[in-house]
Chains A and B, each alone.
Chain A
Amino acid sequence: MKKVILAYSGGLDTSIILKWLLEKDYQVICFVADIGQQEDQQAVKEKALKIGAHKIYIEDLRQEFVDQFIFKALKANAIYEGKYYLGTALARPLIAKKQIEICQLENCSTVAHGATGKGNDQIRFELAYHTLMPGVEIISPWKDAEFLAQFKGRSDMIHYAQKMGIPITSTLQKPYSIDENLMHISFEGGVLENPEFAAPSDMFKHCIRPQDAPDKETEIAITFYQGVPIAVENFSTGEVIKESSVDLFTYLNKICGHHGIGRIDIVENRYVGMKSRGVYETPAGTVLWKAHLDLEGLVLDREVLHLKQMWMPKIAQLIYNGFWFSPEMDFLMSAIEKSQEHMEGRVFITLYKGNALITSRESAKSLYNQEIASMDVLGNYDQIDAKGFIKLNALRLKHFHSKKIKKEIHL
């Protein structure tokens, strides 16, 4: 019997794919990745088995997701097109990796996923599959002519589900599609497809409207070590979260969302060549990225900081396009890791109505020298030195200008 490992979410699409594969005489092993989506895993399991899955793996990948994926992106300050924190793009390679591990464990050579043929996720999944298991066979129903002929629209799917006794959950009525994990919730499609249309206010799950956020501010501090957060202190409540990175992240999601921080509404450029409108909630990510960037200002050497800044868009593009497992990503990340050696310290932040205001920062590895920079103290800096520095910088400019006056150079 042909065997396949299906990346299963419990939603309508992957449930129908599960049934469709069974109809084609596959033995289907479902794999559910727990990456922090708030879902009843037991119900998902029962549903898969009821439809006819041979077996189901539910893997808690939250720790690996935070430590090996989110925090790596944080070290690089990776943001796609200046706005998107890559929440879904970071999760896909991890899901694919685990799915391939299960595939090998089960002595299987075929994997399936339910990403559509128009989006980025198909690319992120399939590039990772091919890289981690060369020769793997991939079933991607949304690119299969037979499947597409059978399911032309939403109504075909509902009809099929009813006929096959697949339970249809309430998510069906939602007029947009949702992807949730620890890093973010993304909304796209449906009513959001028109960028002129404002996102419905009842859509958001973590980040309340800044107008509805508390009138009282919350003071927190985030402690970093080697570029990653290791503790969060809430001075308003006295809470300290430091044992587990998953708890830390979850806690930040909660308090930052509560203060209305992290809503993002953008039009982005997909790898497949089209523009798409996406709305995201990234409360913890927004604040962590901001704090990390601030601490780098204090700790990193100027030249290292500037080079990192140049590479960042490339790293974000690689993650977005699905090249997490690639030689160029390894190459860039090794330099990023090196840059974070001394990245430790505390950043103090006030959360208030959609704002994360950095009020102060401290680090044992600071390169900031108060004595030299101060306007008051002379320090070890002779201001007369600046005269020579400027004179030499001006040599080139003076020469250029004199040529211009002599009309040898036309500007």
Chain B
Amino acid sequence: MTLSITLEKIETTVVPQNLKVAVAFSGGLDSCLGIELLRRVYHASDIVAITVDVGQGDEEMHQVFHHAAALGITPLVIEAKKEFSDEWLTKAIRANSDYNGYPVSTSMTRQLVAKLVALKAKELNCQAILEGSTGKGNDQYRMHNVFKLFAPELDVLVPVRDFNLNRMEEQLLCQHWGIPISEQLVGGDDKTLWCRSIASGAIDLNQPIPDHVWMWRTPPIQAPETGEEVEIEFTSGIPVSLNNQKLPLDLLIAALNQLAGKHGIGLIDMFEDGIMELKSREIYEAPGAHVILKLHRDLEQQCLTKEEIQFKKGIDAKWAYLTYHGQWFSPLKEALDAFILKTQNMVNGSFKVRLYKGNIEILHRESSHSLFTPEIRSIKSTSFDQRWCNHAAKIKGLPFEILAKRQNKLQKGALS
């Protein structure tokens, strides 16, 4: 693969010209290359770079400005940390967000970014939006759905798709045009408050993950020999205090990421079924989410009824599926949110847990809304007349008596 072939491929591809284009600018390889392609190939009449801060951290925001300066642009920054934690993560926690093991994170931030970029692009009279998703991943679909909902009249430009580029070709182009890149691992890194995704779509089957890539996590073997006890309180399904200190959700998650990460918690190494129905190996780091979701589920188990729990499992799975598949703003997903929210009135209580070398051990539970009733259930109590159970068992067992009758009849029939 030589540079000249790639350059020729770019020159011979027909792409829209002379548009005013808004760029969803993350400072990563794809969006930086996008800026250069807008200048050199799309010949954009005007470029508006928009960076949405969803809590990717100071280091990454610093890098955004550093790379932007190198490209000679000044991105417009939209602050969305509060919106992300208050409007998105609260819903995710209440829904036990879990897409086959992935606590859905980039799935959400991409749609939040797409909404804010689309609205800003319309406001500034742009004619197209450029975004830097890879052509093989999920984000292109998620962002497209949201762009088409909030700015249906704007064209969507995705350079890797438009020019059919692979990662090697992109790197060659960046070198050739002097575009800054600073990827630790091929495939990049997507940090959000809730969960960090590492080199999505670039990890091979048995490729080891080096220890230095972790942001929060200390591998269990290197974690402190003495664990640490932590207290967390939930109100209406949302964690509201950490070690008896009231904290807004974003700060609470940030603090838990540090705390739980230090004790080796939060690695996810899984096969994910993507939107295109292809499997990929994905590595995530989500210490805070691990602790919060484990405790939220435990608290639901204590406070919700059997029927609610059984039914909500299906609802939660559908919620995660829709969110993952770029349907955050769909009518169905919003209807599920309403159902889930209704169940959370009862989900109140507090925990003391021990974090120790990758384990989250629950030491103490308390809930004002508990349905746990040892005074009725315990085999030590004399709460109800157990002779009733004899009758109940007969009624519950009736279908089996009828099945036996049919069986007898059929056997007799077979003999005669």
With both beta carbons as reference points, the residue of chain B lying nearest to A365 in the complex is identified as B406
- Interface size of A by CB at 8 A reads 29
A residues in contact (CB < 8 Å) with B = 301-302, 342, 364-367, 369, 372, 380-382, 384-389, 391-393, 395-396, 399-400, 403, 408-410
In the assembly, what is the distance between CA of A364 and CA of B407, in Å?
11
Which A residues are CB-close (under 8 A) to B346?
Answer: 409
A388 touches B403 (CB 8 A): no
In the assembly, what is the distance between CA of A366 and CA of B406, in Å?
7
A301 touches B399 (CB 8 A): yes
Tell me the residues in window 360-416 of chain B with beta carbons closer than 8 Å to chain A beta carbons.
368-369, 371, 373, 376, 384, 387-392, 394-396, 398-399, 401-403, 405-406, 409-410, 413
A389 touches B399 (CB 8 A): no
Q: How far is the CB of B230 from chain A (nearest CB, A)?
A: 26
In the assembly, what is the distance between CA of A381 and CA of B305, in Å?
31
In the assembly, what is the distance between CA of A367 and CA of B406, in Å?
7
Given contacts A369-B402, A372-B402, contact A400 B388 (CB under 8 A): no
B345 at the interface (CB under 8 A from A): yes
Q: Can you report 19 residue pairs joining A to B where beta carbons are below 8 Å apart?
A: A302-B399, A367-B403, A381-B398, A384-B391, A385-B390, A385-B391, A385-B392, A387-B388, A387-B391, A388-B387, A388-B388, A388-B392, A388-B395, A389-B395, A391-B392, A395-B384, A396-B305, A399-B373, A408-B368
| Shortest beta-carbon contacts, A-B, top 5 | A388-B391, A388-B388, A385-B391, A389-B395, A389-B392
Of the candidates B371, B376, B405, the one whose C-beta lies within 8 Å of that of A369 is B405
Which B residues are CB-close (under 8 A) to A388?
Answer: 387-392, 395
- Interface size of B by CB at 8 A reads 29
Which B residues are CB-close (under 8 A) to A387?
Answer: 388, 391
A386 touches B401 (CB 8 A): no
With both beta carbons as reference points, the residue of chain A lying nearest to B373 in the complex is identified as A399
Q: How far is the CB of A322 from chain B (nearest CB, A)?
A: 14
Q: How far is the CB of A387 from chain B (nearest CB, A)?
A: 6
- 4 A-B pairs besides A365-B410, A396-B306 with CB distance below 8 A are A301-B399, A366-B406, A387-B388, A399-B376
B399 touches A385 (CB 8 A): no
Tell me the residues in window 215-239 of chain B with beta carbons closer than 8 Å to chain A beta carbons.
none
In the assembly, what is the distance between CA of A238 and CA of B277, in Å?
55
Q: How far is the CB of A29 from chain B (nearest CB, A)?
A: 33
A392 touches B410 (CB 8 A): no
Given contacts A367-B406, A372-B398, A400-B305, contact A395 B391 (CB under 8 A): no
B369 touches A409 (CB 8 A): yes
A389 touches B403 (CB 8 A): no
B391 touches A386 (CB 8 A): yes
A392 touches B388 (CB 8 A): yes
Most chain A beta carbons < 10 A, residue from B346, B389, B392, B398: B392
Which B residues are CB-close (under 8 A) to A366?
Answer: 406
Given contacts A380-B401, A385-B394, A399-B376, contact A408 B369 (CB under 8 A): yes
Which B residues are CB-close (under 8 A) to A301?
Answer: 399, 403
Q: How far is the CB of B22 from chain A (nearest CB, A)?
A: 26
Q: How far is the CB of A340 from chain B (nearest CB, A)?
A: 15
In the assembly, what is the distance between CA of A267 and CA of B127, in Å?
35
B402 touches A367 (CB 8 A): yes
Chain B positions 301 through 321: 1 when the CB is less than 8 Å from some CB of chain A, otherwise 0: 000011000000000000000
Q: How far is the CB of A392 from chain B (nearest CB, A)?
A: 4
With both beta carbons as reference points, the residue of chain B lying nearest to A385 in the complex is identified as B391
Which B residues are CB-close (under 8 A) to A302?
Answer: 399
B371 touches A399 (CB 8 A): yes
